[in-house]
A = this chain, B = another copy of it.
Amino acid sequence: MNFASDNHFGASAQILGALAAIGQAPQPAYGNDAVTARVTQRLCEIFERDVAVYPVINGTTANSLALATLVPPHGAIFCHAEAHIAVDECGAPEFFTHGAKLVPITGKDAKLTPAAIDKALAHFQKGFVHHAQPAAISLTQATELGTVYTPGELAAIAALARRHGMKLHVDGARFANALAGLGCTPAELTWKNGVDVLSFGATKNGALAAEAVIFFDPQDARDFEYRRKKSGHLLSKMRFVSAQLEAYLADDHWLANARRANALAQRLAQGLAAAKGVTIAHPVAANAVFARMPAALAKRLRAEGVLFYDWGVPDGDHVVTRLMLSFATPEEDVARLIELAR
């Protein structure tokens, strides 16, 4: 029973089928193929505007290339202290940006607030050559703690970004889950509320290795293509990445997968909340459940073969556990886990 990570699961049959369908016939290389063109077109439709689309293989790359395109080496990127870019990418954003500074900001439920960002900004004087210069805000949607930013929250942060001449990046490794949870449109969850660039995730939600960097103003993409090439992320047979995205977007496969994972998360959260000594640590708005439980219970679950991570520092004899739900998590695993917890 794997609740350790949504990236432990493989790829969906639809997406694997799309790869097989590509076959061995020749097509132009390096993204100049028909599949990549179709995916770009499809994303323009989905986001209701002309966007610049760059397929890449994973989220670390999407985030790093997006940020490096918008942030100079002397720039500062404001993000949550628990953001994936800050803690789980081994300094990839610093590598791609040639040394820009990530400014970690604490906040409830892994969410940034305008007030918290404002407070952090107070340490940076504009045009003062000794200080890194505020260049971007990066937030994660859904967050690392399974919470989401509402369109209104996005708009407030975007307004702050604008006032300070910063760009707004969204790490959307679980964008589909956030969208499914919020029930708004992709446009509302991005550019209509001020998002400049999105790391549009697919890998955790059914693809093998596919994300897209989406610039809502294609002008912002500037030298992205050179950065992608220089960092080894321009694939010769790019259509195999694009085909994943095409299948992901076809027939609302992406939303169906996300809804399924989210629904399982709701079911699991409700089931666990009813168990003795278990509380849900953060609002469950996407496909993650953070359950605070007795360490003894966590130990017992592991003994039964349940895989999951503890999160943060143990607190007396309780631990906070992270339980991830995936497009492919068997329903019976959820039922069985609830049963075990009771």
Chain B residues with Cβ below 8 Å from A114 are none
Q: Complex formed: what's the CA distance from A98 to B231 in Å?
A: 12
Question: Is A101 an interface position by the 8 A CB rule?
Answer: yes
Contact of A58 among B28, B60, B131, B236 (CB under 8 A): B236
Question: Within the complex, which residue of B4, B19, B23, B25 is in contact with A19, where a contact is CB–CB below 8 Å?
Answer: B19
Taking the closest CB of chain B, its distance from the CB of A21, in whole angstroms, is: 9
Question: What's the least CB distance linking A171 to chain B, in Å?
Answer: 13
- Residue A107 interfacial (CB < 8 Å): no
Contact B24 A10 (CB under 8 A): yes
A58, B91: Cα distance in complex, Å: 22
Partner of A102, one of B101, B204, B208, B231: B101
Cross-interface CB contact of A237 among B10, B95, B101, B236, cutoff 8 Å: B10
Contact B91 A100 (CB under 8 A): yes
The CA-CA distance from A2 to B29 in the complex, in Å, is 12
Please state if B230 and A231 are interface contacts (CB–CB under 8 Å). Answer: no
Knowing A26-B2, A123-B87 touch, does A231 contact B19 (C-beta < 8 A)?
no
- Cβ of B8 and Cβ of A29 under 8 Å apart? yes
By the criterion CB–CB under 8 Å, are B102 and A95 in contact?
A: no
Of the candidates B9, B99, B233, B235, the one whose C-beta lies within 8 Å of that of A24 is B9
Task: Tell me how many residues of A have a C-beta within 8 Å of chain B.
Answer: 82
Q: Pick the contact of A91: B13, B92, B230 (CB < 8 A).
A: B230
A25 to chain B, nearest CB (A): 6
Option from B4, B26, B90, B230 in Cβ contact (under 8 Å) with A230: B90
- How many Å from the CB of A78 to the closest CB on chain B? 13
Which residue of the partner chain B has the closest CB to A122?
A: B313
Give the residue among A57, A239, A326 with the most B Cβ atoms within 10 A: A57
A291 within 8 A of B: no
User: Which of chain B's residues has its CB closest to A226's CB?
Assistant: B74
CB contacts (< 8 Å) of A73 on chain B: these are 91, 94-95, 98, 226-227, 230
B10 contacts A235, CB within 8 Å? no
Which chain B residue shows the least CB distance to A131?
Answer: B90
A185 within 8 A of B: no
Whether A269 is near chain B, meaning CB under 8 Å from some CB there, is: no
Q: Given A5-B29, A10-B22, A223-B74, are A101 and B94 also a contact pair (CB < 8 Å)?
A: yes
Query: Which A residues between 127 and 167 are near B, CB-CB below 8 angstroms?
Result: 129-133
Q: Tell me if A321 counts as interface (CB < 8 A to partner B).
A: no
On whether the beta carbons of B100 and A226 are closer than 8 Å, the reply is no
A177 within 8 A of B: no
Contact residues of A with B, CB < 8 Å? 2, 4-5, 7-13, 16-17, 19-20, 22-30, 56-58, 60-61, 64-65, 72-74, 87-92, 94-102, 104, 122-123, 129-133, 203-204, 206, 208-209, 223, 225-237, 239-241, 313, 326-328
22 contacting pairs across A/B (C-beta < 8 A)? A4-B26, A5-B29, A8-B27, A9-B25, A10-B22, A10-B24, A10-B27, A11-B23, A16-B22, A19-B208, A26-B326, A73-B91, A73-B95, A73-B230, A74-B227, A87-B123, A87-B130, A90-B131, A92-B230, A122-B313, A129-B225, A208-B237
